């Protein structure tokens, strides 16, 4: 209930912060994620710990993270800020939620556009990186249950190769505590594991993606 109510409240605030510079809009609207993680900890007794903070480089990179639930869309905003999400454009059409999301300038992609969508990701992603923002890509394309092993899409790897920036792989087990498409959240401690940077130099997008997939799946197996 508080999750839904907070969306409505922050969407209302979004109408008043439209004229503000991006950095102010971003900080105010991403407080919504902090608030809901606090709700999780206080009400659901669902907390998290992070391993591998030393692997975060000192410059914005491409984050390729496992996508299992809604939880990581909140937590990654605390770990990598400011960031730009790579999302399907339909999310911007959701009442209230989409208003606030639009104001933090995500990279909204038309998945049906094929090669054009891939080029949009490279062009917009490179621009966000140049602005000093991390770019977060969910290479699985959609939420999957913890332990599933789907094929990885190449968009994030292509962006890293084109922009010559590292990929930071992120594994976690949030799907065990806040499963996709389920209302119930279970108490416990989610583990987030940040891997060593995967350098793109001299590598094809396929090879970059394969290295990310291998690291994330190996890390998940130990969680």
**Model confidence over 96-131: pLDDT tens digits?**
888 888 888 999 988 776 677 788 899 999 999 999
What does pLDDT average to over the chain?
92
The percentage of the chain sitting over the pLDDT mark of 90, rounded to a whole number, equals 69
Q: Partners of 190 in the beta sheet? A: 48
Spell out the domain ranges in the chain.
2-221
Q: pTM of this prediction? A: 0.92
What is the predicted pLDDT for the residue at 97? 85
Mean pLDDT of 10-30: 87
Residue 25 and residue 30: Cα distance in Å, rounded? 8
What is the predicted pLDDT for the residue at 113? 66
| The pair of three-digit structure tokens given for residue 30, joined into one six-digit string | 């991403």
Domain over 2-221 is classified CATH 3.40.1130? yes
CB-CB neighbours of 181 under 10 Å: 8
41: pLDDT confidence band, cut at 50, 70 and 90? Answer: very high
Residue 8 and residue 99: Cα distance in Å, rounded? 10
Q: Return the minimum-mean-pLDDT range out of 15-29, 176-190, 200-214.
A: 15-29
What is the predicted pLDDT for the residue at 11? 85
């Amino acid at each position: 209930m508080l999750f839904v109510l907070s969306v409505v409240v922050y969407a209302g605030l979004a109408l008043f912060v439209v004229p503000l510079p991006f950095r102010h809009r971003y900080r105010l609207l991403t407080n919504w994620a902090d608030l809901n993680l606090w709700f999780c900890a206080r009400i659901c007794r669902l907390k998290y710990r992070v391993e591998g903070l030393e692997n975060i480089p000192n410059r914005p990179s491409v984050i390729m993270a496992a996508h299992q639930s809604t939880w990581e869309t909140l937590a990654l905003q605390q770990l990598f800020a400011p960031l730009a999400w790579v999302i399907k454009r339909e999310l911007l059409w959701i009442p209230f939620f989409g208003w606030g999301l639009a104001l933090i300038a995500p990279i909204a992609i038309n998945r049906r556009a094929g090669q054009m969508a891939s080029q949009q990701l490279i062009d917009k992603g490179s621009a966000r990186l140049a602005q000093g923002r991390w770019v977060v890509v969910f290479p699985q394309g959609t939420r999957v249950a913890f332990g599933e092993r789907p094929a990885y899409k190449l968009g994030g790897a292509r962006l890293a190769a084109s922009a010559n920036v590292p990929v930071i792989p992120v594994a976690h087990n949030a799907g065990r505590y806040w499963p996709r498409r389920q209302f119930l959240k279970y108490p416990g401690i989610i583990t987030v594991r940040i891997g060593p940077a995967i350098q793109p130099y001299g590598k094809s997008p396929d090879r970059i993606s394969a290295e990310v997939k291998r690291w994330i799946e190996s890390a998940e197996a130990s969680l």
